[in-house]
């Protein structure tokens, strides 16, 4: 006997005439994510989806689906005949089998087959009454601890009591392509995740500083990408060897501007890579005031070097919020592995916190910045992530 899962969508429901575009993309993403699981079938079902799979696959399939943006929850459903008594008995049995008695409950019923000799209100009232009397659980119609859902339809009838959370948001692939500046830190993987959640297709660019920082930095960022892949991205990681250029920028005067100059060169280079990959904007994990390079003055001075708009999904977050999200997403454990970052490596002892453009331009005068950025972008190594694992490509 097959197991049925009911998948619910959230924000997509609010879409008007172009809802089908969002649904098609979501469907494509679900199929792609489940492609390794043979015998799994996806069906559209009254504005939602159901998935059928073998009972032994259920846990793994729920694990995959709980990372699909656009879905809000997943419930294993017990499929039965639409007789009133059968639905009622099944609901009661499911509640009695719960490992913990809920503090309150509510029955929500939907009858899509109008020929059935009862209404959804009958189901809600009568099944609710049976559960209340048998299990002695109070009813709460507004904020129940447990929701018992009944669907009585021509094609399918079922009861479900468990909801596994899915992340909500919009299906990846619906909002255009972005290039994320991905460090090995805590913030930028979260920023990348947030853009995936809003439906963007994402590639990443990361800077490391050989020979001063070597393979461990590359491996850390690749590991972060692998943690993020089940969420839908990134598709490509561009690794930029930045050490030699940083050595040149380090000589700038006044030296306290060095970090701003490193960051500006990152913007130029990532901007070129982004344009080459037809991305519409850059994304960073910056948050206002987090460190010296993220004061308002410095953010503005850094952004001016970018050929594309710069998006900062974490701008208003404090670090605790970001850490909490990183833990939920699963990137935190990798992010805290100690590893030198290219910007901290050659950071000035007293970095500028109020960079002024005239000073910045003066410090950069005489350097062929565009040629440097072109050279960095051209020599970037691209790692492509597919369902079958990463594949490295030469420049």
At closest approach, how far in Å is the CB of 353 from Mg ion? Answer: 15
Which residues fall within 8 angstroms of residue 29, CB to CB, at 6 or more apart?
Answer: 68, 69, 70, 171, 172, 173, 232
Asked if residues 20 and 64 have their Cβ atoms less than 8 Å apart, the reply is: no
In 3D space, the residue among 233, 267, 223 whose CA is nearest the CA of residue 249 turns out to be 267
- Would you call 218 helix, strand, or coil by DSSP? helix
In 3D space, the residue among 9, 7, 66 whose CA is nearest the CA of residue 41 turns out to be 7
Residue closer to ligand ATP, measured from CB, 58 or 327: 327
- Would you call 378 helix, strand, or coil by DSSP? helix
Please tell me the count of residues contacting ligand ATP according to CB under 6 A: 19
Residue closer to ligand ATP, measured from CB, 30 or 181: 181
Residue closer to ligand ATP, measured from CB, 149 or 179: 179
Strands 310-311 and 281-283, bridge-based pairing = parallel
Q: Does the protein bind ligand ATP through residue 185 (CB under 6 A)?
A: yes
Residue with tokens 């009591």: 161
At closest approach, how far in Å is the CB of 187 from Mg ion? Answer: 4
Residue closer to Mg ion, measured from CB, 111 or 312: 312
Site for Mg ion in 346-375 (CB under 5 A): none
Q: Does the protein bind ligand ATP through residue 343 (CB under 6 A)?
A: yes
Q: Does the protein bind ligand ATP through residue 305 (CB under 6 A)?
A: no
Q: Could you say which of Mg ion, ligand ATP, none residue 50 binds, taking C-beta under 5 to 8 angstroms by partner kind?
A: none
25, 29, 90, 206: which one binds ligand ATP (CB under 6 A) = 206
3-state secondary structure 28-77: HHHHHHCCCCCCCEEEEECCEEEEEECHHHHHHHHHHHCCCCCEEEEEEE
Site for Mg ion in 181-240 (CB under 5 A): 187
Residue closer to Mg ion, measured from CB, 72 or 298: 298
Q: Does the protein bind Mg ion through residue 303 (CB under 5 A)?
A: no
- Would you call 185 helix, strand, or coil by DSSP? coil
Residue closer to ligand ATP, measured from CB, 90 or 342: 342
At closest approach, how far in Å is the CB of 374 from ligand ATP? Answer: 18
Binding site for Mg ion (CB under 5 A): 187
């Amino acid at each position: 006997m097959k197991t049925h899962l009911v998948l619910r969508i959230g924000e997509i429901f609010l879409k008007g005439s172009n809802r089908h575009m969002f649904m098609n993309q979501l469907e494509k993403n679900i199929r792609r994510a489940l492609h390794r699981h043979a015998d799994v079938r996806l069906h559209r079902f009254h504005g939602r989806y159901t998935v059928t799979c073998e009972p032994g696959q259920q846990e793994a399939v729920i694990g995959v689906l709980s990372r699909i943006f656009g879905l809000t929850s997943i419930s294993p459903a017990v499929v039965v005949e639409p007789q009133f008594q059968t639905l009622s008995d099944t609901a009661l049995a499911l509640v009695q089998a719960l490992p913990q008695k809920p503090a309150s409950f509510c029955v929500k019923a939907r009858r899509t087959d109008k020929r059935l000799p009862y209404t959804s209100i009958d189901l809600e009232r009568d099944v609710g009454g049976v559960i209340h009397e048998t299990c002695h659980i109070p009813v709460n119609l507004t904020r129940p601890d447990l929701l018992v859902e009944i669907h009585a339809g021509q094609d399918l009838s079922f009861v479900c009591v468990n909801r596994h959370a899915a992340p909500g948001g919009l299906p990846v692939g619906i909002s255009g392509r972005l290039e994320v500046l991905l460090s090995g830190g805590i913030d930028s993987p979260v920023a990348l995740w947030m853009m995936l959640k809003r439906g963007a297709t994402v590639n990443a660019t990361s800077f490391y500083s050989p020979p001063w920082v070597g393979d461990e930095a590359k491996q850390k960022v690749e590991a972060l990408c692998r943690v993020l892949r089940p969420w839908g991205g990134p598709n490509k990681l561009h690794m930029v060897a930045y050490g030699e250029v940083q050595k040149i920028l380090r000589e700038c005067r006044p030296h306290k501007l060095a970090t701003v100059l490193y960051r500006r060169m990152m913007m130029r280079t990532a901007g070129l890579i982004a344009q080459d990959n037809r991305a519409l904007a850059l994304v960073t994990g910056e948050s206002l005031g987090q460190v010296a390079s993220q004061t308002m003055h410095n953010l503005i001075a850094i952004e001016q070097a970018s050929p594309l708009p710069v998006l900062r999904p974490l701008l208003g977050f404090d670090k605790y919020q970001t850490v909490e999200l990183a833990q939920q997403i699963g990137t935190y454990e990798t992010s805290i592995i100690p590893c030198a970052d290219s910007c901290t490596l050659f950071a000035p002892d007293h970095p500028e916190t109020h960079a002024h453009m005239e000073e910045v331009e003066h410090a950069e005068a005489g350097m062929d910045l565009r040629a440097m950025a072109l050279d960095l972008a051209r020599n970037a190594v691209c790692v492509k992530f597919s369902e079958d694992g990463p594949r490295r490509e030469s420049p």
